[in-house]
Amino acid sequence: MPSKPAIFLRRCYLIYTGIVFFLLFFALFPCFFILNLLKQKRKALVLTRHWTTVFFFLLGIKIVVENKHLLDKKSTYIFCPNHFSFLDIPIMTQMPIAVQFVGKQSLSKVPGFGYYFRKFHIMVDRDSLRSSYAAFKESIGSLLENISVVVFPEGGISVGNTTELSDFKEGPFKMALKTGIHLVPITLADNWRILPDDGKFLMRWRKNSRVIIHEPIDPSQYSLETLEDFQENVRNAIQSEINSRNSIETI
């Protein structure tokens, strides 16, 4: 259990993080608004990367993206990262390729930010089959327009100070099978330490946050009949990397 001064500092760091995030966002909001009017989605996604680059710089956290050579910047991918922290979304914008997110509908209720997310990303209510199907179709449309998509296969954050992955949903794997687009497992190794979703509202500074890009998977080696194998193989790859990266560290 951290001391009271440590708790105070970590909470102040979290407040600072929120202030920096939204100050940068509202400074860029006119640009996002104009890009939406001009229907320049791809440019807005590139601008998002610049926004989060400055954001993490001001937090003093270096994003270390490993195995970038595995990606062809001219190709389109379905990125599947683990989801342990609220930092996972901004960190995934640091991919070498501009990405669009499939995110929960509740994000649309955040003042200002909700407008941005509705216009440039894909909203889904995971409790509604109709919404889930609409988000699936919209994701397919983006992929066919050569826009890479990020889907958190767990469907939400794994709550608490944990490194155990939840069961994976079928969505991104069916997208890969339908489009033939390569699926890329992503391991976010450190966000659960920096900002865990444990209800304590404490943020811990860490010099580096590691993002590991796994080998892209050609979905042609799977089918609907072997969909569970596809899901489990990706889950095992990410889980093994998480365990390896954190095996000699303490919480």
Q: Kindly give, in sequence order, each residue whose CB lies less than 8 Å from that of residue 137, ignoring residues fewer than 6 positions away.
A: none
Q: What is the reported pLDDT for 135?
A: 94
pLDDT category at 59 given cuts 50, 70, 90 is: very high
d(CA 140, CA 122): 11
> Helix 4-37 crosses helix 113-120 at what angle (to 10 degrees)?
50
* pLDDT of 251 higher than 90: no
- Which of these, 79, 87, 81, 86, lies nearest to 61 by C-alpha position? 87
User: Which residue ranges form the domains of the chain, and what is each CATH number?
Assistant: 4-246 (3.40.1130)
Three-point CA angle 150, 245, 73, nearest 5°: 35
- pTM of the entire predicted model: 0.93
Q: What is the reported pLDDT for 250?
A: 46
Buried b (16+ CB within 10 A) or exposed e, 99-132: bbbbbbbebeeeeebeebbeebbbbbeeeeeeeb
* pLDDT of 162 higher than 80: no
